[in-house]
Amino acid sequence: MASLVLEDGSDDVMVVLTCIDRNEQDDFSHNQDEDAVMISTVDVYNWNFPSVLKHRTIKVKAQRNRLIEHSSYFHGLLGGNFGNPDLEILVQWNQPTFLSLLASLFGSPLDVTSESFLSLFEGALYFGMETIISKCMMWLTKAISVNGVPLLQLNDLLSIWEFGSELVNNYLPELCTTYLAKNFIWAMSCSSFVDVPYDLLLSSTKHPNLTVDSEMQLCDALLIWISANKEQYTEDCYINLLKQIRISLLPLWFASGKKTYESLSMCCNESYSGVITLLKQPFTPRMNALQDNELLNLRIRLTELTQRVDISCCTQMNPAILLLSVLPLSLNLEPQLRIKFEKSLINHESINAFPWTKWSNLTFEAVHEIDISNCPMLPLKVAIDIISYSFPSLRKLKAANHLSFKTLDVMQLVKKCPLLCDIDLTVDVSPVISTQVSILSSFLPTNTPGSFSIHWHSNHSNITKLILEGRNDVEDFDLRAISNICVSITYISLRGCTSVSDVGISSLISKCLKLNSIVACDTSFGQQSVLALCSSNASYDHHPSVKHSGRNIPHGCNLQMLHIGGCKGINLSCFSKLMSQAYMLKNLCLRDTEVVDDVLFNFLGSSLEVLDVSNTKVSSAVLAHVIGRNPGLKCLKTRGCNNLLHKETKSLFFEVCKLEEISVGSRRTEMASWNFSFTGVCGSLFSDDIIINMLESLKHLKSFSLCHCLGEISSLSFKVRMPNLRKMRLERVAPWMNNVDLVNLTHNCANLIELSLLGCPLLNSESQKIISSGWPGLISIHLEECGEVTKNGVVSLFDCFALEDILLRHNGSGIQKGFIHEAVTKLPMLRKISLDVCDAKDRDKDFDIPEVDNRHFLSHVKIARCKSHTHRCIFDQQHVQASTVSIHRETLVLVWDSKHLTTTLVKERV
């Protein structure tokens, strides 16, 4: 690396270090002065690294004493009597690294980065430069402790870990493990994640600071790693990895669907024992019955860096588990404490009585989002109490499908979580929408609790987004209370909220002056709401939270999203005025309304990205006008627009070809890399070759829908492997499908979670077993007119443990009378069920409806009836006579919300 020359004439002798690259192989005793440059440490701050590094040989004049003092390597070389100027010691090293090390020894700042750390640290170790070793380790320690954007790239981390693993008695591997554990979410997104060594990956998953949003996220990452390294390690290694997953905290549909992974399946059996214990006692926590290892497997991962907590669809999650998850680990294992919590929660005592101040580490300041959707055993009122204490910085709450949550609880939530700005309380929209069905009769109990009145005018919240979709229990009084407090709201979704009136919605619009996104499909949104949007609101000038330009601005000018599909009570003249004002609109849904061309011709905006005018009277001319004015339009939905079926439509297609998603034809057509759907008469264009070519080109297809197409389609169309497909819908396109075809479908589309089949008469009772074994993670199954699938009752489908939505109609009269009760007992996530009395096994042709307290998570039940002299439906298409065809008569719909059960009889088949 260096030849040394001593120079007398000063107290601190100068030496000359001749540096050559470590890869050089020449005889440097003869050509060391060829292409050389001389620099000195005296002016180290003026070194021009790019210029110096162009030379093959670099000579550095440096003080001998400083080298001896700060480098054990040079101390060994220079510490004795080296008075002979002809002495040469040649050692090769990386030139940029060596210059950086020398510069640092002589006062220049050391530039340690993710890319330079390892070379500097390795060089400092070799030359025994303790000061630089210390600086490198300080940088690495700081990089590991910094929260936010990672300072150390994953490739560099892997190199450091590999280097540290070869050293003795060093803590580099430990630091690397900590860094990977704390930044695991980021690491999963890196392409080099699959290159993480097994030992490093295993140690990081065992680390107490492992930070992930959910166990599903961790499981997905490990399965990707295993798939990429399946030839390098043993099965025992994979099992050791997967054992680190807390299986009991995986969403039920996800865990069920992963049973096909043998390694993961071997880990599931033991972990599920605790879950089963809890599910058998749905109304009590039963914490004391769990063993320590089972309890640890239920504990949510929470660290000081956790920002998002996702426990959605964790069936067994209850208040006791949630509470014990935020407590120190040592307390989780105390039997007396478990019993105390169990008694407290069983007796519905307030969680406010819990001694929160006794432990200072019960809060997790970094958590700003939590998702507790679809947790049937977790009462929200109790959950919110725990969340408000443990996550004081919470900004976003997702709590979909919790019927027990009342609007009063929203107010309490806002009060307890002052930073909260985004709340999602979505539930399934009722199938009984008055504008879509003909109601024959309806029964609503009269002894239901009324709305409440609340006055917190002085306590305004930070809520900017509120989703109340599907909540029939929300009324005008509730909207008034919300508008009094949520004055900063910008986005609200009331889709399917059938109990609120046009007056209630208009009042909310008038009070919430920052509102720019309104989703009000299938509500009473009408004339009053349109007028509220059109009005120039003088209260802008007096509202402290709204900046104004000294003039009144119509509320509609701020609109960026307006969804009013299915809303009928709108005056078109007034709505045209709104369209002329709403020039900032980006997303507009007018499906199933009375909108005509004149309305859209008044729209002057140029920022539209999504437009849905399905089932309206608009023409090609107005659509061409809108598309021409809005170059950023990405999605256009026009299914059911009969006025488009004219000659001028041809010119329109030249405009829509640039869109990412389009819906045309008699019903629906959507094509995208993630979604493909074709419905209606246009389907006659299809053949096997076309379908196969499309599917092979759409590698990342997530949803596939093919309905009522008249082309020559066979089982060949579905022999393309689609591993990313999650949803499949086939209606009247696969009459040839038999059990063999169904088996092939399970192999080619192995990861389905939603399946809908209509008109597959060759299927039978064995098809149930094929479906349940091929797709155990299904959350939705719709089978209609599928031969004799239910002729022998429903058994195998119960093996799809995560089912949330079941539709079984005209598949054989073998469904047992107590099927609904059995389904809600065996399927803890079941929310919606649809049957037909034609399929009832018992002679009275009816099904038992569970009592309110025994319905578990169930919220919607639909039972259709057919009009027939024999009260039976005939499915054998080869022997159907016109006089014996059964005709739908009515549908009984039962809908539970937080207040009551509504029983409705409608004319349509819903």
Is the Cβ–Cβ distance between 58 and 52 less than 8 Å? Answer: yes
DSSP code per residue over 190-210? SGGGGGS-HHHHHHHHHSTT-
Cβ neighbour number for residue 356 with a 10 Å cutoff: 15
Paired strand residues for 563: 519, 589
**Model confidence pLDDT, tens digit, residues 347-374:** 545 566 666 666 556 789 999 999 999 9
Q: Which of the four pLDDT bands, split at 50, 70 and 90, describes residue 258?
A: confident
Q: What pLDDT score does 283 carry?
A: 40
Strand-strand pairing, 780-784 and 887-896: unpaired
In degrees, to the nearest 5, what angle opens at C-alpha 556 toward C-alphas 553 and 559? Answer: 120
Has residue 670 got a pLDDT over 50?
Answer: no
Higher pLDDT, 41 or 332: 41
Paired strand residues for 404: none
Query: In this prediction, what percent of the chain has a pLDDT beyond 70?
Result: 78
Is the Cβ–Cβ distance between 112 and 131 less than 8 Å? Answer: no
Q: What pLDDT score does 373 carry?
A: 95
Nearest to 337 by CA among 388, 294, 292: 292
What distance in Å separates the CA atoms of residue 348 and residue 280, rounded to the nearest whole number? 20
Query: In this prediction, what percent of the chain has a pLDDT beyond 90?
Result: 44
User: What's at 741, amino acid-wise?
Assistant: D
**Model confidence pLDDT, tens digit, residues 125-167:** 999 999 999 999 999 998 888 877 788 899 999 999 999 998 8
**Model confidence pLDDT, tens digit, residues 511-520:** 999 999 999 9
User: What's at 855, amino acid-wise?
Assistant: R
**Model confidence pLDDT, tens digit, residues 807-848:** 999 999 999 999 999 999 999 899 999 999 999 998 677 898
Query: Exposed, middle or buried: residue 669 (CB in 10 Å: 0-12, 13-18, 19+)?
Result: buried
What's the token pair of residue 837?
A: 């009395």
Is the Cβ–Cβ distance between 344 and 283 less than 8 Å? Answer: no
Worst-scoring range by mean pLDDT, 53-57, 441-445, 496-500, 531-535? 441-445
Average pLDDT over residues 88-98: 78
What average pLDDT does the chain have?
82
Q: What CA–CA distances, in Å, run from 221 to 21, 311, 749? A: 41, 17, 21
Does this model's pTM top 0.95?
A: no
What distance in Å separates the CA atoms of residue 335 and residue 323, rounded to the nearest whole number? 15
